[in-house]
Amino acid sequence: MIRLVLVGTSHHHAPVELRERVALEREEAQALAARLAEGGREAVCLSTCNRTELYLAAEDGEAAERDAVAALAELEPDVEPALYRLQDQAAALHLFRVAGGLDSLVPGEGEILGQVRAAHQFGATGSFLDRVFRQALHAGRKVRTQTAIGESPASVSSAAAALAEQVFGSLAGHSILLLGAGTVSEQAARNLRSRGAEIALVANSKTGREEIEEQLGLADVVIASTNAPGVVLDADAVGRALQRRRGRQLLLVDLAVPRDLDPAIRDLDGCYLYDIDDLEEIVAETLSGRRREAERAESLVAAEAEKFHEWHASLDVVPAIASLRARAEEIRTAELRKAESLLERLDDSQRRAVESVTAQIVNKLLHLPTVRMKQAAAAADGVLYAEAVRHLFGLGEDER
């Protein structure tokens, strides 16, 4: 039987300085999934600011888990104690919660659904993981459309804007420097403008260091969210800018993984540096107002996980059901051939009626056993029922 295996880590288990060492760009995640899929497996790598997770479908679940752990430990040996390992329904439930934004740093945030979709698209999937990820996307969409858990602030970008407002009281007239011109940066700019802030500069990879340092001397808030592999703004550059600020405080929020801002900036007088993990307090305040919606969302994804369990468990009995139906059809057609001398007296419509009636008899006889076998499979008795059916009807004896 194919097993669903999950190995990964997230903001619940590892600090940002550990997560950034196992964070992967899309091409790297795609390559890792392809490597883990060798030997007939299926694999998807989901890597975001808050998590790096490997999903595998394999006959040997234990071996797949060991290989996934080894792959992440190869990226960073210290990550192994922070890894969680889930299989089958527990792994599916986790994925469905992730897609619904229920496992995010900011519960209900919307970016994760697109990230799950992209991971699926660039993964090495077959029929099993394709079904699992499509069901996850379906669960995520249900959470977004049937609950209000996604209400503001629904992303780390909006949480960062809320933090800036808490620090300054009002953002009206305050100047913002954005490092990064991607989706997260755009969302941050939108949230900051809605609070009255002015965007002084959106710096990208082509923006010169001199221009950035010049704006550092003027800006009140710096929000960093680039895809750079390492630090893009160090403590020395900020220190030089502070000399021109004449004591004005500077708030810096680092939303990137790996981090864009040098952690040593925290030690500079007049600087307040927050990274993605520091937003948890704002998240907690947000969550307190959404508990009822979160409960509804949890019920939705739990129902989807139960559907996965029923489908997954039925895979054990599907071969027996198919063999039983094939044997019944074989008997039906054989008996009709024996009665050919009688049937040849019938016209075409009458012969079709005989075919239809005998087929309906077979279907009705097998309907309840089929339903009961699938129900038993969901209750872990499916294998016993399947073996009993094979024995009672002599299924597979010809092959033996």
pLDDT digits (tens, 9 = 90+) for 337-347: 888 888 888 88
Contact 174, 220 (CB under 8 A): yes
- 82-109 per-residue burial string, b: 16 or more CB within 10 A, e: under 16: bbeebbbbebbbbbbbbbbbbbbbbbbb
Beta strand pairing status for 42-47 and 250-254? unpaired
Q: What is the amino acid identity at position 164?
A: A
The pLDDT confidence band at residue 388, using thresholds 50, 70 and 90, is: confident
| Radius of gyration over every alpha carbon of the chain, rounded to an integer in angstroms | 29
Q: Residues 3, 64: contact at Cβ < 8 Å?
A: yes
Q: What is the pLDDT of residue 400?
A: 43
Q: What is the mean pLDDT of the chain?
A: 87
Question: How is the chain split among helix, strand and coil, in percent rounded to 5?
Answer: 60, 15, 30
Assess contact for 79 and 73: CB atoms under 8 A.
Answer: yes
Question: What DSSP state is assigned to residue 170?
Answer: -
Q: Which of 159-173, 188-202, 226-240, 369-383 has the lowest mean pLDDT?
A: 369-383
CA–CA gap between residue 336 and residue 383 (Å, rounded)? 33
Half-sphere exposure of 239 (CA within 13 A, CB side): 10
DSSP E strands in 216-352: the ranges are 221-224, 250-254, 271-275
**Cα angle for residues 257, 160, 267 (degrees, 5° grid):** 70
Q: Is 275 exposed, middle or buried (0-12, 13-18, 19+ CB in 10 A)?
A: buried
Instruction: Name the residue with tokens 């016993």.
Output: 384
Task: State pLDDT tens for residues 266-297.
Answer: 999 989 999 988 876 666 666 666 677 888 89
- Structure token digits, residue 200: 């002084």
pTM above 0.75, yes or no: no
CA distance 121 to 57: 16
Is 49 part of the annotated catalytic residue set? yes
pLDDT at 399: 46
Measured CA to CA in angstroms, residue 73 lies from 79, 123, 359 at distances of 6, 20, 57
Which region among 330-334, 350-354, 369-373 has the lowest average model confidence (pLDDT)? 369-373
Contacts of 319 (CB under 8 A, 6+ apart): 386
pLDDT at 71: 97
Peptide bond into 319 cis (omega under 30): no
Contact 231, 262 (CB under 8 A): yes
Taken in order of first residue, the domains within the chain and their CATH numbers are 3-151+290-313 (3.30.460.30), 156-286 (3.40.50.720), 317-393 (no CATH)
Write down the catalytic residue from 7, 49, 95, 197. Answer: 49
What pLDDT does residue 284 have? 64
Please tell me the distance from the alpha carbon of residue 398 to that of residue 213, in angstroms, as a whole number.
81
pLDDT-based confidence at residue 329 (cuts at 50, 70, 90) = confident
**pLDDT-above-70 percentage for the chain:** 91
Phi, psi for 130 (deg, rounded to 5)? -60, -45
Contact present, 113 and 143 (Cβ < 8 Å) = no
Which of 230 and 390 is assigned the larger pLDDT? 230
Under DSSP, is residue 7 helix (H, G, I), strand (E, B) or coil? strand
Residue pLDDT, tens place only, 35-92: 999 989 999 999 998 899 999 999 999 999 999 999 999 999 999 999 999 999 999 9
Q: Cα separation of 274 and 16, whole Å?
A: 11
Q: What is the DSSP letter of 270?
A: T
3-class secondary structure, 377: helix
User: Measured between alpha carbons, how far is 314 from 96 in angstroms, rounded to an integer?
Assistant: 20
C-alpha 56: how far from its chain's center? 13
